[in-house]
Chain A
Amino acid sequence: MLSTADLKTKIEAAIPGTTLKLVRESLLLENPNDLLKVARFLKESDLGLDYLSSVTGADYLTYLESVYHFYSMAQKSGPVVLRVRTDRQNPQIPSLTALYRGAEFQEREAYDMYGIVYEGHPDLRRVFMWEGFEGWPMRKDYQQEDSETLEMADVAWLENQGVKVPEPIKAKAEELEKQGKRALAQKPGQPEPQ
């Protein structure tokens, strides 16, 4: 198996125009649009990385990242770690599902948790969270809803269903509405070193 630095030169020589950067033991692809070309090279060249073990997202506050772990089943070699960065506002990365079927559910999961849109994915829907859920739960700035406190929208829905909402709960919901706030749970703090 080649070292990461050798692999970088090999890929850059084979696909002109791609630029890679070494990040620890992995390769960072500078331009996300080259991802399909690079993945195809990894799969079809003599590297034979036919097995995409893991696809996942990560949030680094200023950008989102998609991380890929490739192995070779035929040569029993690996891993090659490839990472692609994209901005938080409009995160778009090409999908690898056409090349590796195994990416199908994993890209759906990364979309579900981080909101990374994998372009060209055949069926990009939420996988764990329900349809109509708003927000991206694994992003670092995600604020969890407080399930104990009701908001005005909840009260209206309940009353529409014919449920009688107790007055104190309703008053609290109205107050939140007045202040323009949402019912959010407190984030667990950093643990204190002992």
Chain B
Amino acid sequence: MTEKTFSLHGAGDMDTQTLEINIGPQHPSTHGVFRMNVVLDGETIVSLKPVMGYLHRNHEQIAENMSYTGSMPYTDRLDYFNSMSNNFGYAMAVEKLANIEVPERAHYIRIIMAELTRLVNHVSVIGFLLNDLGAFFTPVLYAFREREKILDIFEEVAGARMMCNYLRFGGVKYDLSPEVLARIAGILKKFPKFLEEFETLLTKNEILCMRCQNVGVLPAELAVSASVTGPMLRASGVNYDIRKADNYSLYERFKFRVPLGQKGDVYDRYYVRILEMRESLKILEQAVKEIPAGDIMSKKMVPFLKSPRNFKPPVGEAYARVEAPKGELGYYVVSDGTAQPWRYHVRAPSFINLTILEDLCIGQKVADAIIILGSVDIVLGELDR
């Protein structure tokens, strides 16, 4: 072994020293294997560099060496909390590429699943945020109790609770039975009561307010220029929801509002998510009531269910994006006319929303950096891809 020598930065004079520490990669508050390289002056953050790639498996390259349908189960593993939304974006991109029409009933089923996913995501994210604040696991368990009920529905519909792999190009894999619709309606009846209970515990809680208000403020101009999307953008007061802006699928048929924050602090991000859940419930109620009968798969695509490798979209490219619970989830697919995509790219909201993490954290205390990261809402499967 060679002898190692250590030298302390600035040792020998009486200047104040900054301290460089690593938060993560194995730390409960980093929501996975994510590292923050933080420089501290006392307890105040001077600089913060996110270090990622610990969970990188080059999803894009794997997808480029696979048939189009072959990547569908892999998209589940991007943001493993919201597999239905991930499927949705990818299916939309390939449908755009190959010009496939989706039957109306399939659109409704997709919207129901996407909004249920949003409930699952927001409720767990708030739970985890409270975990970071020090309310150890009580709010998470309240949240997971409700999440379980929705995951049971996913299991009944798709056969899996988290890795649903439910959507196909041109529709969905299985139909919704009347019993499942009745169960979803049952959840819709009980969920508002749970939200009220949750809010009684949290929204006006003094500790939550003191810790979250005026912490990690994100100005609207910075948010737009840094391509921040999702609840984080709307908490800063920018009215931009892709469900409204693009009117993809059949979202223009549903009446819902886009909740906005005022300051863009951690508290706004928390509260926007609570309000978004209420809007999702509105969409779900309308969808469950109005869902039409009919096909669930486009006739053009039925033969490819059994022989996915024969599916060869025409030469071209498509970019499709959905309002995933974490922000804009985009898929860029280029076809060269063969059974494998020439280029496949995922625009991951978790990744791009982190661009401004340093700006939010500078000048704050270490403990605040933890909750700021919690309020950004990242999932490492999607961030590292």
Partner-B contacts on A (CB < 8 A)? 24, 26, 50-54, 56, 58-59, 67, 69, 71, 73, 76, 79, 81, 100-106, 109, 113, 126-130, 137-138, 187-188, 190-194
Contacts and interface: CB of A to CB of B under 8 A. Distances in A.
A76 B224 CA distance: 13
B239 to A, nearest CB: 8
A83 B192 CA distance: 47
A53 B226 contact: no
A129 B56 contact: yes
Contacts of B227: 51-53, 100-103, 106
Nearest to B318: A25
A128 B352 contact: no
A160 B330 CA distance: 46
A58 B60 CA distance: 11
A131 to B, nearest CB: 10
A118 B331 CA distance: 23
B340 interface: yes
A54 B355 contact: no
A101 B222 contact: yes
Interface residues of B, number: 44
Interface string B336-357: 0011101101010001101110
B134 interface: no
Which of B226, B316, B328, B340 has the largest number of chain A CB atoms within 10 A?
Answer: B226
Q: Pick the 5 closest A-B CB pairs, nearest first.
A: A102-B227, A128-B53, A101-B226, A128-B56, A54-B347
B118 interface: no
Interface string B349-384: 001101110000000000000000000000000001
A54 B345 contact: yes
A54 B330 contact: yes
Among B240, B340, B384, the one with the most A-chain Cβ atoms within 10 Å of its Cβ is B240
A100 B343 CA distance: 24
A56 B317 CA distance: 13
A101 B354 CA distance: 11
B281 interface: no
Interface string B37-71: 00000000000000011001010110001110000
B58 A191 contact: no
Nearest to B321: A53
Contact of A50 (B225, B343, B354): B225
Contacts of B339: 190-191, 193
B119 to A, nearest CB: 26
A67 B307 contact: no
Contacts of B81: none
Contacts of B60: 113, 138
Contacts of A54: 319, 330, 332, 345, 347
B53 A130 contact: yes
B19 to A, nearest CB: 22
Given A73-B240, A102-B226, 19 more contacts: A52-B227, A53-B347, A54-B319, A54-B330, A54-B347, A58-B334, A58-B342, A58-B343, A67-B332, A79-B319, A100-B226, A101-B222, A101-B225, A109-B351, A128-B52, A128-B58, A188-B65, A191-B339, A191-B340
Nearest to A103: B227
A81 B334 CA distance: 13
A130 B384 CA distance: 12
Nearest to A76: B245
B359 to A, nearest CB: 9
B244 to A, nearest CB: 8
A127 B52 contact: yes
A102 B338 contact: no
13 contacts: A51-B224, A51-B240, A53-B321, A54-B332, A58-B342, A58-B343, A76-B240, A101-B226, A102-B226, A102-B355, A106-B227, A191-B66, A193-B339
B183 interface: no
Interface string B296-336: 00000000000101100000110101000000101010100
A69 B330 contact: yes
Contacts of B328: 53
B238 interface: yes
B349 to A, nearest CB: 11
Contacts of A130: 53
Contacts of B228: 102
